[in-house]
Structure 1
Amino acid sequence: MPKIPTGIWAIASHLKTLAEVDQFVTSASAADCWSLRRPRFSTQDTLTAIQKMSQHKPLFTHAMADWAELGASGVICGAHSLPPATVKKIYPQLAVGASVHNDHEIDAALDADVDFLVYGPIWDTPSKQDFLSARGLEQLEAVVKRSVKVIAIGGVQTADQVKQLKQCGVHGVAVLRAAQDAQLLRELSQAFNCS
């Protein structure tokens, strides 16, 4: 089975230029793993970004299995991407995860034998506020007990939250807003690795 990094996963979302990639590489250096989500630049720049980012940290792409093949460690399948079972068949060398938010999605992902789940939002978050409510720690604990590695996501802004997630047994914690704040990301990483 491919290696799934433990610790803090910093998400690079909606980047528009390679300069923003460079800025992310600097600001998110304390993270244990990076994820590239919905890049907004050309195909060539996406390839350059993947190659540049994967030189520094394990890198996972969101929904872009073909891009992951070009230098990333794996892919996170979402509701609008290729199904995880298809990705695992086409790209057996990649770690394949699924972004899930409810029991139906969790069951489907586990039936597809994914390597990990990205589950949330745990707390309220601006990116999901109009269509997904916070799942909370109790629901997270139930997911963690399902015998699969879980990366918790959603509304994580403090070291105390990271410690709570770690106590629930998560394999990692993914952050989007905190990935833009180098000092906060260092604090979150220290909280994960010290708890």
Structure 2
Amino acid sequence: MVPARVRARRGADRLRRSRAHQAAFHLWARLRQVSTPGKTAARVQNAQRGARVAILRARWNDEITRALAQGAVQAALAADAKVEEFEVAGSFELPPAVAMLARTGRFDAVVPLGCLIRGETAHFDVLAHAVARSLAELAASFPVAIPFGVLTCETIEQARARSSPDHNVGAEAMAAALELVALRHAMASSTERASRSAATARPRSTRTKRRRSPGSR
């Protein structure tokens, strides 16, 4: 009698050899490849080329947000993405504008950029929490890449340090958005191939039954 552990191992081996399991395995292999630094596949890089990206800038703290937008544009152009730029009054207006742009279906990513600097009242805390929560909800709701590109700083010096050419949060937000775009393309492509494989593969039991049918060849 074959031990249960041996039977389980044999069953796992059969599953591993099945086409459906191979398709699922390759899907997760690609996802790991996308998220592993230094090991981005060529097809992921190709997905970033031609990506349609909207940069949405809040004009409040204009000096800082212009620098953020400049970094984001440079990062997008370096990846051969197509960029359109939009503006709103302040960071509080970013979430509704992001939603409007995402609903158009014209963009693979919408990159909101803003800057909040603490003042003497609780206004900073109220805005920072409201903007962060709203953008997070939008990012989880739309099939569009929506990163977080809003600075929340104690001083203007901190904001300048994070919008400089050496450390630019706008460029970082754009890079994160393009990575999400590539991830979505990789998942869609893998799912499509897995569906085609499942549709064309005939169950073994069906093939056996057909061979045993009288008069069949």
Shorter-chain TM-score above 0.5? no
Task: Report which of the two has the higher share of helix.
Answer: 2
Q: Which structure has the higher relative contact order (CA within 8 Å, separation 6+)?
A: 2
